[in-house]
């Protein structure tokens, strides 16, 4: 899996969903003007940008281990406190923030218990820690159709609906409680995106972004073409614009 790709490639593949998801995550987490917030695993900054609009640049911080993503986020929000760091070792002191958010990140952490534990550490007592992950098994139409198409051609394809952790409300609830957060609550968040045509969906899949992109870009040309054809059929061969929806599970808790 790779996030060592250009921010633009990410935005065309997944960022278009992240932008829609960000206001819903912010509302679910109860973020308000005047709060100091940190975006963990910020990527090129879809959520950071939305937080910036709400709380102001001096009150928003962000971290991600991917060098190109940190650069893209810093360029998007000049002057913001954007750092290259993993969730498991955050470079801020205890209790620095009112809230720590991680949008579509917990399932990618090496050690989610440590990563969410660090998010808890950097928020003050009474502060909120929130995150969300796609429902990879059902409800994230792009990835579901992609992995179903891949499995039809290759039974060993690493379907994220099987391999991803923290893709259900129950798993997230349990993780948040194990980290020692209180008043834990979960909810589904659903977003939509409209593609101008099939190529707008397919092209970014060939750029190596995330597990699906890494799988797709690693195929030899003939197998990649077969996958393209299979995916096209599974999406009902759209000839013009079409809309897909995506469901994430969100979780929040109080320190
Ligand atoms: C699916 S992207 C989500 C990016 C962004 N939050 C968004 O909503 O678009 C997953 C992000 O998690 C980051 N990531 C991977 N491992 C991480 C870790 N251990 N700690 C923090 N972030 C991590 C990746 O670099 C990538 O930017």
Most informative mutation of 3, 103, 210, 214 for ligand 1 (most atoms within 8 A of CB)? 3
Residue nearest to atom 1 of ligand 1 (CA): 104
Categorize the per-residue pLDDT at 175 as very low, low, confident or very high, splitting at 50, 70 and 90. Answer: very high
How confident is residue 4, by pLDDT bands cut at 50, 70 and 90? confident
Span from the CA of 235 to the centroid of ligand 1 (angstroms) = 27
Closest Cα to atom 4, ligand 1: which residue?
A: 43
Say if residue 239's pLDDT is above 90: yes
Please determine, for residue 177, whether its predicted confidence score (pLDDT) is greater than 80: yes
145, 138 contact by CB (below 8 A): no
> How many C-beta atoms surround the C-beta of residue 141 within 10 A?
16
Specify the residue with its C-alpha closest to ligand 1, atom 15: 108
The Å distance, Cα 221 to ligand 1 centre, comes to 29
Pocket test for ligand 1, best of 41, 104, 133 (most atoms within 8 A of CB): 41
Q: Which helix (H) or strand (E) holds 210?
A: helix 210-217
Over range 129-134, report the average pLDDT: 98
pLDDT in tens, 43-79: 999 999 999 999 999 999 999 999 999 999 999 999 9
Using one digit for the tens of pLDDT, what is the confidence trace for 25-39?
A: 999 999 999 999 999
Beta bridge partners of 25: none
Residues with CB under 6 A from ligand 1: 3, 14-15, 18, 40-43, 46-47, 64-66, 69, 86-88, 103-105, 108-110, 115, 210
Q: What is the dihedral of CA 185, 142, 18, 252, to 10 degrees?
A: 10
Burial class of residue 214 in the structure, from the number of CB atoms within 10 Å of its CB (0-12 exposed, 13-18 middle, 19+ buried): middle
| Sequence-separated (6 or more) residues with CB below 8 Å from residue 126 | 254, 255
pLDDT attached to residue 2: 77
* pTM of the full structure: 0.96
């Amino acid at each position: 899996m790779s996030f060592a790709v250009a921010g633009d490639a990410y935005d065309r593949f997944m960022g278009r969903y992240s932008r829609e998801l960000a206001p819903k995550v912010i509302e679910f987490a109860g973020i308000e003007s005047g709060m100091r917030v940190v975006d963990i695993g910020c990527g090129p900054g879809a959520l950071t940008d939305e937080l910036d609009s709400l709380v102001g640049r001096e009150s928003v911080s962000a971290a991600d281990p991917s060098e190109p993503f940190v650069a893209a986020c810093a360029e998007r929000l000049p002057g913001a406190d954007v750092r290259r760091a993993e969730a498991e070792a955050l470079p801020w002191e205890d209790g620095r923030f009112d809230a720590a958010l991680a949008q579509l990140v917990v399932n990618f952490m090496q050690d989610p218990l440590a990563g969410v534990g660090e998010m808890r550490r950097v928020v003050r007592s009474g502060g909120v820690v929130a995150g969300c992950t796609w429902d990879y098994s059902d409800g994230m139409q792009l990835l579901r159709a992609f992995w179903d198409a891949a499995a039809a051609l290759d039974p060993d394809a690493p379907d994220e609906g099987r391999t991803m952790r923290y893709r259900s409300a129950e798993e997230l609830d349990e993780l948040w409680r194990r980290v020692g957060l209180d008043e834990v609550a979960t909810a589904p968040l659903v977003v939509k995106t409209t593609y101008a045509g099939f190529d707008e969906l397919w092209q970014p899949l060939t750029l190596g972004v995330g597990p699906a992109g890494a799988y797709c870009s690693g195929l030899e040309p003939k197998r990649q073409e077969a996958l393209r054809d299979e995916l096209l059929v599974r999406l009902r061969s759209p000839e013009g614009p079409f809309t897909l929806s995506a469901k994430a599970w969100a979780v929040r808790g109080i320190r």
